[in-house]
A and B are shown apart, each in its own frame.
Chain A
Amino acid sequence: GAGVSQTPSNKVTEKGKYVELRCDPISGHTALYWYRQSLGQGPEFLIYFQGTGAADDSGLPNDRFFAVRPEGSVSTLKIQRTERGDSAVYLCASSPWDFASEQFFGPGTRLTVL
């Protein structure tokens, strides 16, 4: 596609439930990033993939968060046992190569945990 796409655009869930958020990067981009943005804050890094492997997952807040990119294209961010504090906008970005290149962002998924 022309840009990074993310689905769903909005997700409302109940505390304790499991959610999956999907990111489709720009075709041909080998690097993929997940960020989380809380209201009034800048995005915070979660995890970075180069190809299929997670090159840096230092931003994942705890073991309830996990992400995969099995074929080096689409990525899924998975959150287990959701908590109200997980409510935020989850942003995905991609870039054409991994050395400090320009990152292109998707529209985000707004997650609300009730």
Chain B
Amino acid sequence: KQEVTQIPAALSVPEGENLVLNCSFTDSAIYNLQWFRQDPGKGLTSLLLIQSSQREQTSGRLNASLDKSSGRSTLYIAASQPGDSATYLCAVTQGGSEKLVFGKGTKLTVNP
């Protein structure tokens, strides 16, 4: 059974800092990995999708990498801003299935 773990559970940083969020998964037979952002009381906003054949994806200040063989992904946020404060979730699509398996998320607070 696929399990997704996100470390740390919570992170607090000063504005302007570069930071890395970690995601690991137990079964490397995935189709893709998606990073989401969730604001309090809101739904999920898709940030980046990495296909299993890709190593990384970039969008603005965000860069996500994928090492499928080791079961790891990282989300790098450059020059963090208070508006980046949210919970960040990673999820994988398991081979042979369309469903996303999520981690519990990392709650990020960027202090002005």
A residues touching B (Cβ–Cβ < 8 Å)? 4, 6, 31, 33, 35, 40-45, 48, 50, 55-56, 58-59, 91, 93, 98-100, 102-108, 110
| A105, closest chain B residue (CB) | B44
Q: Say yes or no: is B61 at the interface (Cβ < 8 Å to chain A).
A: no
A58: chain B residues at CB < 8 Å are 99
Contact check: which of A45, A50, A104 meets B99 at CB < 8 Å?
A45
Contact check: which of A31, A43, A91, A107 meets B98 at CB < 8 Å?
A31
Stretch in B13-21, B63-71, B72-80, B102-110 touching the partner? B102-110
CA distance A33 to B91 in the complex (A): 14
CB of B105 within 8 A of CB of A56, answer no
B31: chain A residues at CB < 8 Å are 99-100
Contact check: which of B32, B46, B91, B105 meets A104 at CB < 8 Å?
B46
Q: How many residues of B contact A (CB 8 A)?
A: 25
- Secondary structure type dominating chain B contacts: strand
A–B complex contacts, Cβ < 8 Å, 25 sampled = A4-B43, A35-B100, A40-B104, A41-B104, A42-B4, A42-B102, A42-B104, A42-B105, A43-B89, A43-B100, A43-B102, A44-B102, A48-B99, A50-B98, A91-B43, A91-B44, A100-B32, A100-B51, A102-B34, A102-B49, A103-B46, A105-B45, A106-B43, A107-B43, A108-B42
| B93, closest chain A residue (CB) | A100
Q: Say yes or no: is B101 at the interface (Cβ < 8 Å to chain A).
A: yes
CA distance A45 to B89 in the complex (A): 14
CA distance A2 to B40 in the complex (A): 22
B43: chain A residues at CB < 8 Å are 4, 6, 91, 105-108
CA distance A43 to B46 in the complex (A): 14
B98: chain A residues at CB < 8 Å are 31, 33, 48, 50, 55-56, 98-100
CA distance A42 to B45 in the complex (A): 14
A33: chain B residues at CB < 8 Å are 98-100
Instruction: Identify 16 new A-B residue pairs, CB closer than 8 A, beyond the known A31-B98, A43-B100, A104-B46.
Output: A33-B99, A42-B4, A42-B91, A42-B102, A42-B105, A43-B89, A56-B98, A93-B44, A100-B31, A100-B51, A100-B98, A102-B46, A102-B49, A103-B34, A105-B36, A107-B43
